[in-house]
Structure 1
Amino acid sequence: MFTIGCHLSASKGFLAMGKTAVSIGANTFQFFTRNPRGGTAKALDQSDIDAFLEYSREHGIGIILAHAPYTLNACSKDEKIREFAKNTMADDLRRMEAVPGNLYNFHPGSHVGQGIETGIEQISAQLNELLTPELTTTVLLETMAGKGSEVGSRFEEMKAIIDRVDLKDKLGVCLDTCHVHDAGYDVVNDLDGVLSAFDRVIGIDRLRAVHINDSKNPFESHKDRHEVIGGGSIGTEAFARIINHPQLCGLPFYLETPNELEGYAKEIAMLKDLRADKPAAKA
């Protein structure tokens, strides 16, 4: 089954997000756990959660993905910022257990001049503090574009973080097509080679989700600016190969393109049409 969705506003609760997803042809969605710039999260409503879980079962909504706020930086050289990152992620993971068995995605962070090795050590240390055997949520490290002092633009950096974490079964990776393209992994002309490198360095079993975004910037630009599908330097033909690749086609795909709901609906319909396993037309 093709699991495809987009980023939705969580302001009206889980049930509203589920209904919005279905209304635009999606069968999953992503949402920010709180304001993307940080702050206090909205209180959970158990009646809303119960209604959402029932609605999901009725409408076939697949695994959903929560996105941490952008301000979460586990490898800042400012101890207060690192503490904010730890406390925010701890709260997010507690809240995600209300909808068990889903995904939580975060940007590894920026070392801000401390160096990659220090950044890797700080990120893995935070994960070791927060991951517990009882956690049902899988925490995803997102591949990054490599702007500034970002950690996670190379597969080797992801592996180094994972290697230092004790509860590795709680960890996965979210591959962002715009980010890896901007980081210098050629998903346009050598998708097989990129996935082979991922498997060799990290292990393809760690890949749990795909952020499907075109890029406003050229290959290896290290810029990280998303574009609508087919409107950037990756292009529609490459996305057809991505969503149909045997090592990717079973994963959930989440659009983060610069769009409103109408635009997301068009992109979802287009991507469904590009799928090789789309349902046959009725006679």
Structure 2
Amino acid sequence: MKIGCHISVGKGLEQAARRAVELGAESFQVFTKNPRGLKPKKLDKEDAAKGVAVMREHDLTLVCHTPYITNLSTPKQDLQEVTIRSILEDLNIAEAYGAVGAVVHCGKHVGEGEAYGIRRMIETLDLILEQYDGPVKLLLENTAGQGSELGLSIDSLMEIRAALRYPEKVGFCFDTCHSFAAGQWNLETFDQLVEQMKASGYLQHLVAIHFNDSKAPFASQKDRHEKIGKGEIGSEALAKFLRSEVFAHLPVILETPVEDEQEYADEMVYLHQLRQAGQPD
């Protein structure tokens, strides 16, 4: 298991990778571009190569994240076209960065209904994936269920993946806060969650975990991240992910609220303590 955190890439990938090392991260996540927009970003190939070299030197695993504003289910033709271009760019940036995947939020049906939203999402994903043949997987992230968000449950995510023309190009990123807020798991149902992941086939396509506590209560359908042990999920429940052998091969990345990235250093130490507390002497 590679415990890490989200890091700013504003000064380039090389600096982000070095920052990850300074903080004690074993994995890290960066945005491919401004998280609040779809404006194209010019790739600095020299910086990308230097960043990849630092990652190899320190055995760092990188996950990229596409902009929040992306909506795979938009009913507007012009926005769908912009979304397709944007995510193709994200995948190419992630590839240059040596990332294992590029996380994308599931679609929002924006009042058109769940059935329409899922159909549109599948259509958009197919149009993206037919144009990308690189090694980076597009990682669908489960949602909390705010507004008209799709992709709350493991079963719905697996159904979306199965309906794609290129399912082999798609994996998953599991967010602990989103799933808790969607009413999918808590301390008492962790084992059932793992069994569902195994039985559905989801687990074999899981590439990364976003590790967050939740400010909002169970089944609230509100996406509000909190520091580990300070929220409604609690350390006891979250530690089960850290101690479970089925997740031991994955990058586990903090997206908890911080004023400064330095705060992640202490939080990652805490995660290692939680994990080791469940190991035999």
The percent identity for this pair of structures is 36
1:276 — aligned with what?
A: 276
Q: Within 5 Å, which residues of 2 pair with 1:107-186?
A: 107-132=105-130, 134-186=133-185
Deviations 1:4-34 (A, max 9, x none): 1111111111110101001111021111111
**What SS does the corresponding residue of 1:97 show, helix, strand or coil?**
helix
- What is the TM-score of this pair, normalised by structure 2? 0.93
Gaps of 5+ in 1: none
Tell me the matched-pair count.
279
User: 2:212: which partner in 1?
Assistant: 213
CA deviation profile, 1:142-175 (whole Å, cap 9, x unmatched): 0100111100012222122101112211111111
SS of the residue corresponding to residue 275 of structure 1 reads helix
Task: Report the CA distance shift for 1:8/1:138 in structure 2 as closer, same or farther (over 3 A).
Answer: same
Equivalent residues of 1:14, 1:52 under 8 A apart: yes
Secondary structure of the 2:276 match is coil
Segments of structure 2 that go 5 or more residues without pairing to the other structure are none
1:276 deviates by 3.1
Instruction: Look up the match of 1:92.
Output: 90
Cα distance, 1:12–1:101 mapped onto 2, change above 3 Å: closer
Equivalence for 1:50? 49
Q: Which residue of 1 aligns with 2:232?
A: 233
In the alignment, is the contact (CA less than 8 A) between 2:38 and 2:70 conserved in 1?
Answer: no
Corresponding residue of 2:104: 106
Report if aligned partners of 2:38, 2:69 keep a CA contact under 8 Å in 1: no
Match of 1:263 in 2: 263
Residue 278 and residue 233 in structure 1: after superposition, are their counterparts in 2 closer, same or farther (change >3 A)?
closer
Kindly indicate whether the alpha-carbon contact (under 8 Å) linking 1:127 and 1:165 is maintained by their aligned counterparts in 2: yes
- Report the residue type matching 1:18 in the other structure: A
- Separation (CA, whole Å) in 2 of partners of 1:149 and 1:48: 38
**TM-score, normalisation: structure 1:** 0.92
- How far apart, CA to CA, are the structure 1 residues paired with 2:153 and 2:208? 17
Q: Secondary structure, in 3 states, of the residue corresponding to 1:92?
A: helix
The one-letter code matched in structure 2 to 1:217 is A
CA RMSD of aligned residues (A): 2.0
- Compute the displacement of 1:81 (Å): 2.2
TM-superposition CA deviations, 1:28-62 (whole Å, max 9, x none): 11111111111424322222122112211211112
CA–CA distance in 2 between the matches of 1:60 and 1:203? Answer: 26
After TM superposition, give the deviation of residue 122 of structure 1 in Å: 1.2
Taking the aligned partners of 2:277 and 2:185, their CA distance within structure 1 comes to 25
Query: Is the Cα–Cα contact under 8 Å of residues 33 and 41 in structure 1 kept in the other structure?
Result: no
Offset of residue 201 of structure 1: 3.1
The more displaced of 28-37 and 39-48 is 39-48
1:33 maps to which residue?
A: 32
Query: 1:54-80: CA deviations, max 9, x gaps?
Result: 211211112x11111111001122222
